[in-house]
């Protein structure tokens, strides 16, 4: 590993090239592997895949880790397919398909043209078989098959066989995935590896599997490809290894002389800590793992990642000696051009990752990504749709006047995209600032990063010359007086009122008003919920943090059912720490002077709870489309659009996506 002098006065270290084995990385910014399922055909390297990951290389990211490549597992021929869906086990590997090396070569060539490097990750992500019959992922109760030594040797060979294909494709680096509950990590872990043969035992013996894998790959690739490993810095599960033990294990692995780089992060794929750290975590909180390993592994490049969304933080990590390379993966999803913007000092133009985890949430859901619905990013609607945007987001043929009503996510994005395409845009917002529901989200503890979305939109709209009129509500006639060619009604939604007969509005307040700081709430609070995402825990957290005694009554099995497994940890930890009490399967029947009656969701029984000072409702929201229908009735020639939650309330990603499409449509 050696460094030469680089450019960029503000981020001097960040833009220094680095030699990693035979691979020269042009700067320190890395897209660590992120399986966002960009390909049209899941798992293939095709045009949409290339468009997604190449955008980051073109945007200045030096190291492109793209998506993981699943290797084949020794699944017995007679075992039913039913065992494997969702467990990552693959019978026939992609790398054995005809044309595989050629498709990867096309990608690697395109990346090389930008000056960046391609590093491919080889993965046995396999909850079906492991070192011992101990469940790998605590969120699931799947017990894996314990591998015998023949199967282990077969598994080790899969890495070397795959490496040959990647070598043929001309990639610059190969990474062995040994973190995130992958099969090699099950060998490292004292909690998961209970073997008494040569593949288990003390710290050194538990590294045997990884050492054999590395030696096998090295034998095939020699010094033509940089070789490294991704490890979890500390297991944070009962009986798992800590950072000290990992350091010992990595020193044994390094003795093989095969390592050009080590990629370290901290966390697992459920609860906390999560390795895809949501907004609740500080930036680079686990940087000590990088720092410690960097000291131990002299001469081996050290990559650290974990919620680094800002070039300033990345520069600081390099300066503090925490790493040689910085993973900035979601930073590049939110804004593939962020690296170029940093180098050119265009920091105000940067669209920062807000740590909402929408990207990973949908990537790991088996039912979500289809040919028509792809994982995307809440703040960057281009993600997963790069080719569509390339074809449709160019300059408009004819300049038109667009009036956008409503400055929430959908309205701002419609205005931004339309203005970028050359249209004249007037944006009317009745509130004192832009942001809409994003401002409510950012009021909740641990979610202030959501402000970055509003700040990005404010900066963009100003730079693009959008005429933003705050505290302005014109009504249909006033809007038409502006002589628009098109009107985008992004008027948002309003909190849903329960269909509880006779419910007196004086007895309850809405969760939105609580988050907006506009509701009086007493000491003992009942939060009544018919909502499955962040709003219910956010309202409960907001109140509990302010010293209220909170009890949540939820309509179904438990709150937050729609929150991804990478984010749910800190959300629930906060509520548990605040001693929030949960009641499940409760449908509100009546509220009278702090006395609440519920019907069970699972039968006819009723339950009564008394002594509450306040009742807060979290029932989601319903569209507010009044202006759209008024305009329609007025019979205007202007083209009318109903956008975002004014059409149908969903999440932030749907709102920005919808807004952007309207901006492209006119
Ligand atoms: C959509 C998505 C998919 C991911 N898939 C993988 C994967 O296949 N292999 C892997 O090692 N890490 C994966 N990760 C984790 C990232 O490499 C990275 O460690 C994580 O996003 C935290 O870094 P960041 O804060 O810079 O985003 C994934 C992350 C995301 C957001
Ligand atoms: S979806 Fe959310 S977490 Fe993922 S990159 Fe976009 S802003 Fe960041």
Best mutation site among 28, 30, 32 for ligand 1 pocket (most ligand atoms within 8 Å of CB): 32
Q: How far apart are CA 441 and CA 453, in angstroms?
A: 11
**What residue's CA is closest to ligand 2, atom 2?**
356
* Closest protein CA for atom 5 of ligand 2: 330
In 519-665, alpha helices (H):
535-545, 568-577, 626-634, 652-665
Nearest ligand, measured from the Cα of 43: 1
| Domain limits, the chain | 2-386, 393-492+623-665, 497-619
CB of residue 306 inside a 6 A radius of ligand 1: yes
Q: Which CATH number fits domain 393-492+623-665: 3.40.605.10, 3.20.20.140, 1.10.260.40, 3.40.50.720?
A: 3.40.50.720
User: Above pLDDT 70, what percent of the chain?
Assistant: 96
Compute, in angstroms, the gap from residue 53 CA to the centroid of ligand 2.
Answer: 15
Among the listed ranges 374-378, 381-385, 440-444, which one has the minimum average pLDDT value? 374-378
Choose which residue among 328, 356, 533 to substitute to test ligand 2 binding: the one with the highest number of ligand atoms within 8 A of its C-beta: 356
The CATH classification of domain 2-386, taken from the options 3.20.20.70, 3.40.1390.10, 3.40.50.300, 3.30.465.10: 3.20.20.70
**Cis geometry, peptide bond prior to residue 273 (ω within 30 degrees of 0):** yes
Separation of 398 CA from ligand 1 center, angstroms? Answer: 41
In the reported structure, the alpha carbon of residue 485 is separated from the centroid of ligand 2 by a whole-number distance in angstroms of 34
Q: How far is 384 from 40, CA to CA, in rounded Å?
A: 9
Instruction: Give 87's pLDDT tier (boundaries 50, 70, 90).
Output: low
d(C-alpha 30, C-alpha 225), whole Å: 17
Give Rg (Cα) of the chain.
Answer: 26
| pLDDT at 371 (0 to 100) | 46
Q: How far is CA 488 from CA 417, 478, 481, 484, in A?
A: 12, 14, 15, 10
Tens-digit pLDDT profile for residues 19-77: 999 999 999 999 999 999 898 877 789 999 999 999 999 999 999 999 999 999 888 88
CA of 278 to the centre of ligand 2 (A): 9
368 — pLDDT class (breaks 50, 70, 90): very low
pTM: 0.96
The residue whose C-alpha atom lies closest to atom 28 belonging to ligand 1 is 34
Please tell me the distance between residue 134's alpha carbon and the centre of ligand 2 in angstroms.
32
Question: What whole-number percentage of the chain has pLDDT above 90?
Answer: 88
Fold of the domain built from segment(s) 497-619: FAD/NAD(P)-binding domain (3.50.50)
Average pLDDT on 659-666 reads: 97
Question: How many other C-beta atoms are found inside a 10 Å radius of the C-beta of residue 499?
Answer: 9
> Quick one: average pLDDT of 209-221?
98
Please give the number of the atom of ligand 1 that sits closest to the Cα of 305.
23
Band (pLDDT 50/70/90 cuts) for residue 137 is confident
Pocket of ligand 2 (CB under 6 A): 330, 333-334, 353-359, 377-379
User: Over 80: is that where the pLDDT of 83 sits?
Assistant: no
Ligand nearest to the CA of 456: 2
Question: Ligand 2: which residue has its CA nearest to atom 7?
Answer: 353
Q: How far apart are CA 60 and CA 514, in angstroms?
A: 42
pLDDT on residue 44:
86
Q: Ligand 1 centre and the CA of 607: distance in Å?
A: 44
Rounded to whole angstroms, the Cα distance separating 657 from 372 reads 14
> pLDDT tens digits, residue range 496-538?
999 999 999 999 999 999 999 999 999 999 999 999 999 999 9
Please answer whether residues 550 and 578 qualify as being in contact, where contact means their C-beta atoms are separated by less than 8 angstroms: yes
pLDDT (mean) for 201-216: 98
Higher pLDDT: 39 or 578? It is 578
How many beta carbons lie within 10 A of that of residue 133, not counting itself? 13
């Amino acid at each position: 590993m050696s460094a030469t002098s680089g450019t960029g006065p503000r981020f001097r270290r960040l833009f220094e090239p680095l030699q990693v084995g035979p691979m020269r990385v042009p700067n320190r910014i890395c897209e660590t592997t992120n399986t966002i399922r960009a390909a049209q055909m899941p798992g293939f390297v095709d045009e949409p895949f290339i468009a997604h990951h190449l955008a980051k290389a073109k945007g200045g990211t030096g190291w492109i880790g793209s998506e993981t490549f699943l290797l084949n597992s020794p699944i017995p021929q007679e075992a039913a397919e039913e065992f494997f869906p969702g467990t990552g086990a693959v019978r026939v590997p992609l790398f054995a398909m005809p044309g595989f090396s050629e498709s990867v070569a096309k990608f690697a060539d395109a990346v090389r043209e930008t000056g960046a490097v391609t590093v491919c990750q080889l993965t046995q992500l396999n909850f079906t078989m492991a070192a011992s019959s101990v469940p790998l992922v605590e969120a699931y109760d799947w017990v894996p098959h314990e591998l015998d030594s023949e199967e282990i040797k077969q598994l080790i060979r899969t890495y070397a066989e795959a490496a040959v294909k990647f070598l043929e494709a001309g990639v610059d680096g190969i990474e062995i995935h040994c973190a995130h509950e992958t099969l090699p990590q099950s060998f490292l872990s004292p909690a998961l590896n209970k073997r008494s043969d040569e593949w288990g035992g003390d710290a050194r013996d538990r590294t045997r599997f990884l050492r054999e894998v590395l030696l096998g790959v090295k034998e095939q690739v020699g010094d033509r490809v940089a070789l490294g490993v991704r490890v979890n810095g500390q297991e944070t599960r009962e009986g798992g290894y800590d950072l000290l033990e990992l350091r010992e294990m990595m020193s044994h692995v390094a003795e093989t002389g095969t390592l050009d780089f080590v990629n370290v992060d901290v966390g697992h794929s459920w609860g906390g800590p999560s390795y895809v750290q949501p907004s609740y975590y500080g930036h680079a909180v686990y940087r000590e793992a990088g720092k410690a390993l960097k000291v131990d592994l002299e001469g081996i490049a050290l990559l650290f990642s974990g919620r680094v969304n800002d070039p300033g933080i990345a520069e600081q990590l390099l300066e503090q000696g925490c790493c040689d390379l910085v993973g900035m993966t979601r930073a590049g999803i939110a804004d593939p051009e962020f690296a170029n913007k940093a180098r050119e000092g265009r920091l105000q133009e940067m669209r920062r990752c807000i740590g909402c985890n929408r990207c990973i949430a949908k990537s790991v859901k088996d039912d979500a990504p289809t040919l028509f619905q792809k994982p995307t990013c809440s703040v960057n609607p281009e993600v997963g749709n790069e080719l569509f945007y390339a074809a449709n987001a160019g300059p408009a043929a004819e300049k038109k006047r667009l009036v956008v009503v409503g400055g929430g996510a959908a309205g701002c994005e419609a205005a931004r995209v339309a203005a970028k395409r050359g249209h004249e845009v007037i944006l009317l917002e009745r509130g004192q600032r832009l942001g809409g529901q994003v401002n409510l989200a950012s009021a909740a503890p641990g979610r202030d990063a959501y402000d970055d979305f509003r700040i990005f939109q404010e900066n963009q709209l100003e730079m693009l010359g959008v005429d933003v009129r705050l505290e302005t509500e014109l009504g249909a006639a006033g809007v038409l007086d502006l002589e628009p060619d098109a009107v985008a009604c992004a008027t948002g939604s309003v909190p849903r009122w329960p269909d509880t007969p006779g419910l007196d509005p004086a007895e309850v307040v809405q969760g939105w008003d609580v988050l907006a700081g506009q509701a009086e709430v007493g000491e003992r609070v009942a939060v009544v919920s018919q909502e499955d995402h962040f709003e219910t825990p956010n309202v409960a957290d907001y109140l509990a943090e302010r010293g209220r005694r909170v009890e949540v009554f939820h309509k179904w099995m438990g709150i937050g059912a729609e929150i991804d497994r990478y984010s749910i940890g800190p959300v629930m930890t906060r509520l548990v720490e605040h001693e929030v009490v949960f009641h499940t399967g409760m449908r509100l029947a009546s509220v009278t002077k702090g006395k609440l009656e519920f019907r069970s969701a699972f039968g006819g029984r009723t339950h009564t709870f008394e002594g509450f000072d306040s009742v807060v409702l979290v029932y989601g929201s319903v569209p507010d489309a009044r202006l759209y229908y008024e305009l329609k009735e007025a019979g205007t020639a202007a083209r009318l659009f109903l956008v975002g939650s004014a059409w149908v309330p969903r999440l932030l990603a749907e709102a920005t996506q919808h807004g952007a499409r309207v901006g492209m449509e006119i």
